A and B are shown apart, each in its own frame.
Chain A
Amino acid sequence: MIEGAVWRKWVFYNIPLILFVFVLLFPFYWMIITSFRPDGELYRPWNAVNYNPFWTNNPTFEHIEYLFEETNFGRWMLNTMFIAVVSTLISLFCGVLAGYALARLNFPWAGSLGTMIFITYLVPQTLLFIPLAQIIRNFELGDTPWSLILTYPTFLIPFCTWLMMGYFKAIPKELEECARIDGASRWKAMVYIIIPCAVPGILSAGIIAFTLSWNEFIYALVFLSSPDQKTVPVGVTSELIRGDVFFWGPLMAGALLGSIPVAVVYSFFVEHYVSGLTGSVKG
């Protein structure tokens, strides 16, 4: 890097970076502070005198208590967790196998199948939700976690496959050939030699798939109806707003607690997450 005077470094690098970080993180700070602020402080007009919105001296747990006592929030968390974990596992299973086939096997149509997977990767959920809702109803899956567990892989599998293809292509062919010369079958070479080499990729794909299914909204909104079955994003949206009244304290507490599982998984595997994200755009 070309170094200049100290003030230049501040003006051109440090101050813009601090501003970026501030703007990107402020909504989360606001979420946290609102979750612990009593209602009496929350609902004070923006131009009230002596009002300090950025801190509270009377932290309270009333909003979190409300969530667990008056709503099914605990249930929503378990539902979301179950759905996210199972659909991630299904997608990883399918994606690893398909990625291996597309990256390392010679067979007719391999190229066009790869392109097809890439195209489905780009199909947004909002394109198909209405006919899909009817299909879910015809299969009698409506209002069950399985309606989501089986449909989430439609956007997770293409992603996992695409990412895994990249990882498999990077593993040298000689590794597999050695195993084959030593007498391993194709299947065994894949399961015992190649897939273990791709574990970092599988981890990346799994983490991103988990956050994506935790984030999904429109399918969960349309396919689930009873309060017991809802996922966190849908439950918070439908049960904490009554008509025009927003329960902002519990809403923010729900948003905060609902973000924690994703944030924890992310914080443990930041490097895997970033490498997966950047791997997925390499194309």
Chain B
Amino acid sequence: MTVTAVPGVVTRPTPRLRRLEDERWLALALLMPTAILLGLFIAYPFFEGVLLALTSQRVGVPGGFVGLQNFVKIWNDSIFRTAVWNTFWYTAVTTVFKLGLGLWLAMLLNRHFKGKALVRAFILLPFIIPTVLSTFAWKWMFDPTFSVINWALFHMGFITQRINWLGDPDLAMTSIIVVNIWRGVPFFAISLLAGLQTISPELNEAAAIDGARPWNRFWYVTWPLLLPVTMVVMLFSVIQTFADFQLVYVMTGGGPANATQLFATYAYQLGIGTGLLSEGAAISLAMFPFLFLIVVVQLLYIRRVETR
């Protein structure tokens, strides 16, 4: 390391710890491990991924530069188009339900009752238990022959025929949406509950004294104050859902007939399953502009809400 002539620092060989007295050097030293790991395993693969998507590489075949051919190819691929549509539908529907149900659950929890801490601890379980493992429980519950849901519906008299939850294209999409909502609601509920608890109850009481109905109290008092937290929670959830893989991989593997294929599952199927590395990389990267747009729009919106 060379000693640079920074104004205010005497340019003589100083012991290493002395140099850390300078905030800039200390910051550099503290950020170094993070920069190395993130550079090596995020920036570098991103760069490599872009290069890979521009070649015709497969497993065992090095392949040459082909320009944007892979992107043209997936653009004309009907399965890719299905996957894009599915991803948007999956993300939109689950987000609306997660927000609605999460908010409802948060309001139910935002009061004093016996065993509140226990209930709160238990309802977070779907979020913390490894997704693959809990999804297997759902897959077993949706089993075509041994489904407990079919059993319950049958005994309550709703159905006489079995329902093939994961075998029918429309139902399969609904089923994975249900599981995603189940997994995501606790996160929304707990985060929104934390947001609700920062809102002073006096505001609501004042509005009640002024004669505001419950719905108006929610819409004009609670909701605007909750909006900043809601936006951040939505940002995380939308990105995770948009790029979801494990849940669909376990439930349907993208089937039946690509009815539940998402960006990530299709990229995996082509890139790893079939060995078309460059095409798989191109499909993964095709998520990037959408993710980027979501992040930018939401960050701008959050900034606007916060500075209001």
B-binding residues in A (CB < 8 A): 1-2, 13, 16-17, 20-21, 23-25, 27-28, 30-31, 34, 42-47, 51, 53, 90, 93-95, 97-98, 100-102, 105-108, 110, 113, 117, 119-120, 122-135, 150-151, 153-154, 157-158, 161, 185-187, 211, 214-215, 217-218, 221-222, 232-233, 236-237, 246, 248, 251-252, 254-255, 258-259, 262-263, 266-267, 270, 273-274, 277-278, 281-283
Annotate B232-268 by CB proximity to A: 1 below 8 A, 0 otherwise: 1101100110111110011000000000000110011
The B contact surface, by secondary structure, is helix
Which residues, 72 to 107 on B, are CB-close (under 8 Å) to A?
A: 101, 104-105
Do A134 and B277 touch (CB < 8 A)? yes
* B71 interfacial by beta-carbon distance below 8 Å: no
A1-B111, A105-B26, A281-B229 given as contacts; is B133 within 8 A of A255 (CB)?
Answer: yes
Residues of A within 8 A of B125 (CB): 24-25, 28, 263
The A contact surface, by secondary structure, is helix
Contact pick for A222, options B23, B146, B272, CB 8 Å = B272
Distance of A150 Cα from B37 Cα, bound (Å): 8
Shortest 9 CB-CB contacts between residues of A and residues of B: A124-B243, A278-B194, A126-B264, A131-B49, A255-B133, A233-B132, A101-B30, A217-B246, A131-B48
Residues of A within 8 A of B141 (CB): 27, 30
Do B31 and A113 touch (CB < 8 A)? yes
Residues of B within 8 A of A23 (CB): 182
* B297 interfacial by beta-carbon distance below 8 Å: no
* B27 interfacial by beta-carbon distance below 8 Å: yes
Do B41 and A274 touch (CB < 8 A)? no
A-B contact pairs, 30 of them (CB 8 A): A2-B208, A13-B111, A17-B108, A20-B185, A21-B122, A47-B150, A94-B34, A107-B28, A124-B291, A128-B45, A130-B277, A130-B284, A154-B38, A158-B38, A185-B17, A215-B131, A217-B249, A218-B268, A237-B249, A248-B146, A251-B140, A252-B137, A255-B133, A263-B129, A270-B124, A273-B124, A274-B190, A277-B187, A277-B190, A278-B194
For the A-B complex, the count of residue pairs with Cβ-Cβ distances under 8 Å equals: 288
Interface size class on chain B is 35 or more
**Residue of B with least CB distance to A32:** B137
Do B132 and A30 touch (CB < 8 A)? no
A24-B182, A124-B240 given as contacts; is B137 within 8 A of A31 (CB)?
Answer: yes
**Residue of A with least CB distance to B244:** A126
* B42 interfacial by beta-carbon distance below 8 Å: yes
